[in-house]
Amino acid sequence: MKGYPKHLNTIDDVLNSKKIDPQRTKEVLRAVIDGHEGWYVTAPLSVEADGITNDVYRVINQGDEERGEDWYQQHWGPLPGNMLNRIGLSVTEAEKIITEIENV
């Protein structure tokens, strides 16, 4: 590989990119960690009352005046298909790489 990779698809890509451009790698990892968790739909609902609402679950209406109500259950947690899980890197491991870059 020559130069900074276009995509970080493996842990090796992350480690190699850290050697090529540590600051850029740190910024990429920080953005990936920041976007690691969020709300995502787990199920459609018939009515709002069918859903669960607490610290990690919520019910949202994605309908409009034309279509009417359109209820969905959402969960807060690691987003499906997020980069860290895809390449097999935990948040702790990514933060450790960032710390290593900062301490160089």
Domain ranges of the chain: 1-36+87-104, 38-78
Q: How far apart are CA 16 and CA 80, in angstroms?
A: 26
Question: pTM of the predicted model, to two decimals?
Answer: 0.79
**Beta-strand relationship, 71-78 and 37-45:** antiparallel
What's at 55, amino acid-wise?
Answer: D
Give the tens place of pLDDT for each residue, 47-84. Answer: 999 999 999 999 999 988 888 999 999 999 999 999 99
Read off the pLDDT band of 1 (50, 70, 90). Answer: low
Give the tens place of pLDDT for each residue, 2-40. Answer: 788 888 999 999 999 999 999 999 999 999 999 999 999
Residue position matching structure tokens 């097999």: 88
The answer to whether 88 touches 11, Cβ cutoff 8 Å, is yes
